Amino acid sequence: MKNSFKDYAMDENNPKWDNVTSRIAPLETRSSDIRTPFDRDYTRIIHSNAYRRLKHKTQVFFSPENDHICTRIEHVTHVESISYTIASYLGLNTELTKAIAVAHDLGHSPFGHQGEKILSLISNRDLGCSFWHEKNGLEFVDSIELLVGHDGYKKNLNLCYGVRDGIISHCGEIDENSLRPRDEFIDLNEYVHPNQYAPYTWEGCIVKISDKISYIGRDIEDAITLGILDNHLEELYELLNYDSSEAINNSTIINYLVCDLCENSSPEKGLCFSEKAFNLMNKIKDFNYKHIYLSKRTRTSIKYFELVINEIYNILKECYDNKNTLLNLSYLKKFYPKLVDEFYHFLENYCDFSNRDELKLKNNIIFDISKKEDYCKAIISYISGMTDNFAMEMYNEIIRF
């Protein structure tokens, strides 16, 4: 019901406030700044390069020529909109949901979830741990993404705990009907797999649910536009209980699920749908997997993704030779100038071999490339930040003469 969660909103009266607004290090401030902690995080996120690159990262459909097919940045915008609507109606902190929403997919690799699976296979083989975009998103906002501070030096984003928690806790693959925040203020590095813990705030829970609401409807709309569902429209109309005169679109599905969630949720029950809406949402998800995500048309490009990512990774990995790694990279630059140059500049930001003062760096050093594990981790981080277009460009540089 409206404002039913207002006593649990993340504000200064909430007992979790100090934890939620805490940062790894103090954040420089201006005396004239009028923003809240979450407002500051929101602007830091949308000014980051990782956020900008989302416009050229696959959501579901790779390399669409149709400008109106959803990319990763549009999905993020949809999640921001949906979570804002729900939080506003329930009386929760919309500034926090906005910040979590725009950041929640910063850890996605090129080529969507297929790219994520390929990097995870590489990571399991060479590092002994899985790669998953929620964890990678936390690592990006904690250690990879840099912003220029008031003094002209590049520094880490240094976001609030509540936003960082929302990023790593947002896994949208949820099948439980009732979501509520955890009580424990944990070290977020304790996460070892997706969906291990519930978010720490009600606002984080809203973004988690909004992620799922966002993609199931928009993926159907895009698939219809692309003709992928031409042979399955009758099944879809029956599933949604529509007649053939009604339009199937994203806004209709979103409106039904958002309104149902808002009317059925309470602090006592948690964030939940009616049984009818919850069952429908899961049926839509099953339909999407069967006819969209696992369709032959969508999966045709997977071998290409494997080829691109593995070639880039293997070319760079072959340069590792303890203290001679940088020298080997310099030899490789003759053949692959842009790939090696970009990777070298990436390493400069996070290793101790560069003149950090000359480069105006005040961020954390996170890689020791004399260690093979660190070097392989750096390559994975580098590839995960690429757009689809850049990854393809690097592959084309590798194969051409």
Q: Residue 199: which of 268, 97, 120, 76 has the closest Cα?
A: 97
Residue that is last in its domain, among 298, 319, 340: 298
* Same structural domain, 252 and 179: yes
Neighbours of 246 (CB within 10 A): 11
Residue 138 counted as domain residue: no
At 361, give phi and psi (nearest 5°).
-115, 125
CB 171 within 8 A of CB 195: yes
The domain tally of the chain equals 2
Identity (one letter) of the amino acid at 379? I
* Same structural domain, 272 and 313: no
Mean pLDDT of 192-215: 95
* Same structural domain, 175 and 226: yes
CB 146 within 8 A of CB 161: no
Range of the domain at 71: 6-106+145-298
* Same structural domain, 232 and 371: no
* Same structural domain, 294 and 306: no
Is a pLDDT exceeding 70 seen at residue 245? no
* Same structural domain, 286 and 316: no
| pLDDT, tens only, 251-298 | 888 999 999 999 999 999 999 999 999 999 999 999 999 999 999 888
Q: What is the pLDDT of residue 243?
A: 66
The label of the residue with tokens 């500034």 reads 95
Residue 387 counted as domain residue: yes
* Burial readout 303-340 (b: 16 or more C-beta within 10 A, e: otherwise): eebbebbbebbebbbebbeeeebeeebeebeeebeebb
Q: What is the pLDDT of residue 64?
A: 62
Residue 133 counted as domain residue: no
* Same structural domain, 171 and 70: yes
Query: Is residue 327 within a helix (H) or strand (E), and if so which, with residue range?
Result: helix 325-332
Helix (H, G, I), strand (E, B) or coil at 387: coil
* Same structural domain, 165 and 47: yes
| pLDDT, tens only, 100-156 | 999 999 999 999 999 999 999 999 999 999 999 999 999 999 999 999 988 899 999
User: Residue 159's pLDDT band (boundaries 50, 70, 90)?
Assistant: very high
* Same structural domain, 163 and 251: yes
* Same structural domain, 169 and 225: yes
CATH number for the domain harbouring residue 179: 1.10.3210.10
- 331 CB contacts (<8 Å, ≥6 apart)? none
pTM of the model: 0.95
**Structure tokens given for 329:** 């990279």
Q: What is the pLDDT of residue 173?
A: 63
Residue 131 counted as domain residue: no
